[in-house]
Amino acid sequence: MKITGAQAIVKSLEKEGVEIIFGYPGGATLPIYDALLDSKMRHILVRHEQCAAHAADSYARATGKVGVCMATSGPGATNLVTGIANAYMDSIPVVAITGQVPTPVIGTDAFQEADTTGITLPIVKHNYLLKDAGDIPTMFKEAFHIASTGRPGPVLIDVPKDVSQALIDYKYPESLSLPGYKPTYRGHAKQIKQAAKAIVESKKPVIYAGGGVISSGASKELKALAELTQIYVTTTLLGKGAFPETHSLSLGMLGMHGTRYANYAINESDFIVAIGARFDDRVTGKLSEFAKGARIIHIDIDPAEISKSVFAHIPIVGDAKNVLQPLMEAIKKLQEKKEIADRKSWNAQIEEWKRKHPLSYRQGDVIKPEYVVEQIYELTKDRETVITTGVGQNQMWAAQYYKMTKPRTFISSGGLGTMGFGLPAAIGAQFGRPDALVFDIDGDGSFQMVSQDLATAVYNKLPINVAIMNNGYLGMVRQWQELFYKRRYCQVDLAVGTPDFVKLAEAYGAKGLRACHPDEVRPVLEQAIATDGPVVIDFLVEREENVFPMVVPGAPISQMIGGEEE
């Protein structure tokens, strides 16, 4: 029996094990939505297409599965663009399906037409314009394979309306042949042996781990490597959770708002083991001054990242999990021969830095945002918890003061730095991890960009908790204007015109809470956690609190300001 292209799309999604789709319907996708009515897959109606992309992105991060989002042609597709770019920058597996005008009118500026494949070409791993309904089974299998293998990333399929209505004989392929796409998963044996020798001989080594460790499922191997070699570990923002931050060998996050001791250790090291990280500018600071005395092993599945920013003395192309296992075996053989450097003085120096330069703040009569994050951590650290964030100061305070111990539990926009990410990310994470407690640590600026999707949380009865650090400013922009523009504040004051977040939450049918004094922080958090359904907590925090320590833009990461006790 022949079926329509739309039915073939739905069947293909089912074949790939898709359970949830985040989307918003429109004219060009009506055939697909009609076919969805006969499917057991769950469609989540968001209130803005960007939130569909962010929710799919977060669902993928929380579960390790491919996230799926869908929007109609023209403005629906262009509203997905920011979310797709976000997934691309952070290497997240997402399949985006967009409607398109019928093929006879493509290129005529038809109603709600946009060149979606052209627009998204720079921000996807691959994209397709579907021209023949008979290509649907193979195209969808390819899309999911490309999105989830090698270095993960988003793939977009643009579906003209007439193609989704055409009839085809449906058969889903059992296998694929993509001659031009063959990611390298196993590292070169000679390079691994060379890396093992260099690691045991190094006197001041540091492990620098990124989001690639989480993508490859290599967190256990990373912990085993650190404990085997007794090398300290620092992680990127997206690497949080790859290594337990409560571990004695943890240095926390490095970079612009990283810990002083992580930055000092990287700066003074003689050997850096970089795993699944890309030497982002927020990590390296002034590139010419970054770890000048260190040799570098760079383990990454994407050969384009090797030596892109920082020269790799020992490059290893491969999947982190597959590389770390033989690397540890090679190290163990060398350790048996007692071929290992003395690192007592180096380890003592790191411990001294940790004692001398802890993260610190002073809690007075006004709520400090750092205190809020610490209290969220204290109340949730012993249960399954996923933290999502907006972007800005709230994001950095969350990264600094919430100690992650498991992978896929800290979800934040890294490379693109997308304000508004936190709420839809919490929605996606809660669907992916229904048994987990989900907290969105957000800012008043970020939250207002997507607050309409409280409706999505309420409709689906999601027990997400949104903790808003309400300082009445675009906080991070204000901080930069304070520090580098002589406090000439321009267009950063949100105090006038910002809604009453408690009333806003109640208007959507969610619970709204507020804390105005430090003594109220813990009780409102306890009340929120005990509430069945979405909760918005308005924390009135110190208005001009800054995120410290901070590396001044253009400076080496060893040169930080703030964050020290007077």
Select from 168, 197, 226 the last residue of a domain. Answer: 168
DSSP 8-state symbol, 66: P
* Residue 564 in domain: no
pLDDT tens, 430-476?
999 999 999 999 999 999 999 999 999 999 999 999 999 999 999 99
Answer yes or no: is 562 within a domain.
no
pLDDT at 565: 53
Task: Supply the CATH number for residue 289's domain.
Answer: 3.40.50.1220
| Co-location of 126 and 252 in the same domain | no
Determine contact, residues 15/172, Cβ cutoff 8 Å: yes
Among candidate residues 291, 326, 356, the one where a domain is terminated: 356
Query: Which residues, other chains included, contact 248 with Cβ-Cβ below 8 Å and sequence gap of 6+?
Result: none
The reply to whether omega before 549 is within 30° of 0 (cis) is yes
In this prediction, the residues of the chain whose per-residue pLDDT falls under 50 are 566
> Which helix H or strand E contains 70, and what residues bound it?
strand 67-71
Give the Cα separation of 123 and 106 in Å (integer): 22
Handedness of CA 220, 277, 340, 328 (dihedral sign): positive
Q: For residues 257 and 196, state if they share a domain.
A: yes
Domain co-membership, 509 together with 380: yes
pLDDT at position 566 is: 37
Same domain, 303 and 386: no
Please state whether beta strands 233-235 and 250-253 pair in parallel, antiparallel, or not at all (unpaired).
parallel
| Claim to verify: residue 344 and residue 382 sit in the same structural domain | no
Same-domain check for residues 240 and 276 = yes
The angle formed by the CA atoms of residues 181, 184 and 185, to the nearest 5 degrees, is 130
- Do 501 and 534 fall within a single domain? yes
On whether the CB atoms of residues 58 and 429 are closer than 8 A, the answer is yes
CA–CA distance, 566 with 548 (Å, rounded to integer): 13
User: Do 105 and 202 lie in a common domain?
Assistant: no
Do 312 and 400 lie in one domain? The reply is: no
- Give strand ranges (E) for 244-384: 250-253, 271-275, 295-300, 314-317
Q: In a 3-state reduction of DSSP, which class is residue 160?
A: strand
Answer yes or no: is 242 within a domain. Answer: yes
Same domain, yes or no: 405 and 462: yes
- Asked if the structure places residue 437 within a domain, the reply is yes
> For residues 135 and 169, is the Cβ–Cβ distance under 8 A?
no
Nearest to 431 by CA among 45, 81, 148, 170: 45
Q: Is residue 363 part of a domain?
A: no
CATH code of the domain in which 64 resides: 3.40.50.970
Instruction: Describe the strand order of the beta sheet including 154-160 as a list of residue ranges.
Output: 42-45, 20-24, 67-71, 94-100, 154-160, 126-129
Tell me whether residue 319 is in a domain: yes
Identify whether residues 333 and 425 lie together within a single domain. no
Locus of tokens 């918005």: 536
- Please report the pLDDT score of residue 337 as a whole number: 82
Three-state DSSP at 477 gives helix
Per-residue tokens: 418: 């997308």
pTM, full prediction = 0.97
Structurally, the chain folds into a number of domains equal to: 3
* Start-to-end Cα distance in the chain: 77
Domain boundary among 305, 329, 356: 356
Query: Based on the domain organization, do 203 and 297 belong to the same domain?
Result: yes
Q: What residues are annotated to the active site?
A: 49, 111-112, 161, 476
CA atoms within 13 A on the CB side of 566: 1
In a domain, 182, yes or no: no
Q: Which tokens hold the place of 469?
A: 């650090």
Range of the domain at 464: 369-554
Is residue 143 domain-resident? yes
State the residue for tokens 């163990």. Answer: 332
The model's pLDDT over 122-144, given as tens digits with 9 standing for 90+, comes to 999 999 999 999 999 999 999 99
Q: Specify burial of residue 182 (Cβ count, 10 A radius: 0-12, 13-18, 19+).
A: exposed
